[in-house]
Amino acid sequence: MTLVIKTLDLQSVMGELDQNFGSQGETPGFFDNDVVVIDFLNAELETSVSQLQALLHTLQCCHLRPVAFRSAHTEVAKIMSGLGLLPTAAEPVRLKTSSSINTISAQPLEIIKEVVKEVIREVPLPDALVINRPLRSGQKVYARGTDLIVLSVVNSGAEAVADGNIHVYAPLRGKAIAGASGNTKSRIFSLSMDPELVSIAGIYHTTDHPLKDDIKGKPAQVYLSHDGQDNLLFEAMNL
């Protein structure tokens, strides 16, 4: 899900969010701890740390979890990174259909209501969530209803969670939880498989059971067997 900032007035954005989705708003229970990416559209914002902190607080009060940002100028990017958010792809991800529904548009009230109606009417599968910086210990990223692609290391103590597949194009040393909503066909891929924990649809494997030499630290994938036993299978990938 993406929050597109189409105005230089962050106060109005926060006001509209609170009016629509805050605890005293029109639809206070609309979101369920959904992950959101903030898109600044390269606007020349004259803002401060306190204003951006207030924006993040407003999103959290609306039951949204801001985890990343895009299209931010240098100063805003520094502040957002300092607040723990991850920079992601500069170009916003668009759905193939003309009625994109995974974007909250920071426009006047009428536009927000229109987007909400679209969300209620149809829910197509969102595009994969792409994270292009390391996940540090204590950080957690959740790709709700889609795949998660991590282009850098997932460090020990970090969590990569997805309802679909997880692709880590770097060492996987933390936790990877695929099929979080129960999809038994989900898989986990890594160029260096050395996780603290992997889980698919609730079936998990930890470091209590060491990986084989041809898997540990090597390109590999993890998936569930479909023999009725639902065992996690590790398979080396010959790249």
Residue spans of the chain under pLDDT 50: 91-102, 104-123
pLDDT value for 109: 35
pLDDT recorded at residue 39: 87
Q: What's the CA gap between 19 and 126, in Å, rounded?
A: 26
Residue ranges and CATH numbers for the domains of the chain are 2-121 (3.30.70), 129-236 (2.160.20.70)
Contact by Cβ (8 Å): 220, 234: yes
CA distances from 34 to 98, 206, 222 (A): 23, 27, 26
* pLDDT tens profile 52-76: 899 999 888 888 888 888 888 888 8
φ, ψ (nearest 5 deg) of residue 192: -150, 95
Torsion of CA 184, 185, 188, 191, to 10 degrees: 160
- What's the pLDDT at 125? 54
pLDDT tens for each residue of 80-105 = 888 888 888 654 444 333 344 445 44
* Residue tagged 């209590």 (tokens): 208
Q: How far apart are CA 185 and CA 125, in angstroms?
A: 16
Residues β-bridged to residue 66 = 36
Q: Rounded distance, CA 151 to CA 167, Å? A: 8
Task: Say what the pTM is.
Answer: 0.50
